Amino acid sequence: MGRGSVRAREGTARRRAREDGPRIEHWRPEGMEGLRVFRVEDMTGPLSSYSEYYGVVSILQGACDGWCRGAVHTVAAGGLKLKEPGEVHRHVRVHAPVTLQGAAFTADVVEEAARTLGVPRPVHFVPVEPGRAPRAAALATAMHAALAARGPVTRELEALVIETLTEVLATCTERGEVRVHERAPRAVRRAREYLRAHVSEPVTLDALAAHAGADKFHLIRAFRAELGIPPYEYLTHLRVARAAELLATGMTGAAAAHAVGLFDESQLHRHFRRILGVTPGRFARTMHRQHRPSGARGSGLACPA
């Protein structure tokens, strides 16, 4: 077969990969409570994601611009992205196909580590610009390389995870007197808490504004300024994130859609694909293939004194 035919097949494979979207995987390392891992390979177009956890994300290949906390930041291979619960991160431009991997820590793990280290709580990450916190970035890259192997959780791996989280908290958090809940406008914070508490219910803008203590016009403007999207888009991100958790437990797409307040499975499919870049069915199959329940007791995560 000629070289032209080989190139044609490779080109077809690349086009199919682009049409199918990036490869997205999730898994939970056995024996480490309070931690889950996600990986996105060959992201060629902008995606957005809602975070329920604290995230330590390493950019392994490529480069992109992402919006978070009112500004656009550029990250490239070797870079570090940090996420907080309740945030939405949006990619606005992909300069080169991106592969990234993230570790999602539950709030109790991070807050306990912060308490031990004397880091102000609630924990608020600062943007990690290129060249800042090189040791944290290097540790995160090493941690993700070890987690990607998906082998048994060893004491060495657990120690690396703890060391990485410790370095991130020590060098990439806001240490001043101003806290995250004081920085965010009170109305936006109240609106966000209301949406999280009523994720599966019909929410009117008037009811949301009344709970937040602001008129709806100012609330929408403040919400977008703080989080980058309006309240209803935030609610959609939240519903997709909750649906993903339900799909991971084996719930059907139709049941998950109903449980999070969406009209039907087709609406879930549309939002899931738009926000996460993968269909609910593909996500569920990936989770079922990778997650192997075990009766083994996890060692947990603790920060050294």
Domain of 254, CATH number, reads 1.10.10.60
In this structure, are 126 and 219 located in the same domain?
no
The structure's pTM equals 0.74
Helices 216-227, 231-248: inter-axial angle, 10-degree rounding: 60
Residue with tokens 């995160």: 140
Residue found under tokens 């570790």: 103
Take residue 12 and report the two structure tokens written for it: 């077809």
Containing domain of residue 225, as a range?
A: 184-290
The two three-digit tokens of residue 304, written as one number: 């050294």
Q: Is 141 helix (H, G, I), strand (E, B) or coil?
A: helix
Q: Which two tokens stand for residue 92?
A: 């606005």
Residue 179, in any domain of the structure: no
Predicted local distance difference test score (pLDDT) of residue 291: 53
C-beta neighbour count of 98 within 10 angstroms: 25
- pLDDT tens by residue, the chain, 305 residues: 454 454 544 444 444 444 567 898 999 998 888 999 999 999 999 888 888 899 999 999 999 999 887 889 999 999 999 999 988 888 899 999 999 999 999 999 999 999 988 898 889 998 888 888 999 999 999 999 999 999 888 889 999 999 999 999 999 998 743 444 445 688 999 999 999 999 999 999 989 999 999 888 888 888 888 888 889 999 999 999 999 999 989 999 999 999 999 999 999 999 999 998 889 999 988 877 665 544 444 444 543 43
In the chain, how many domains are there? 2
Domain endpoint, select from 115, 144, 171: 171
The number of beta carbons lying within 10 Å of the beta carbon of residue 67 is 19
CA angle, corner 81, sides to 78 and 87, nearest 5? 165
Residue 81 tokens read as 């992205």
Whether residues 51 and 123 share a domain: the answer is yes
Domain end, chosen from 143, 171, 199, is at 171
Of the three residues 171, 192, 209, the one that is the final residue of a domain is: 171
* Type and span of the H or E element at 161: helix 155-171
- Residue 32 sits in the same domain as residue 63: yes
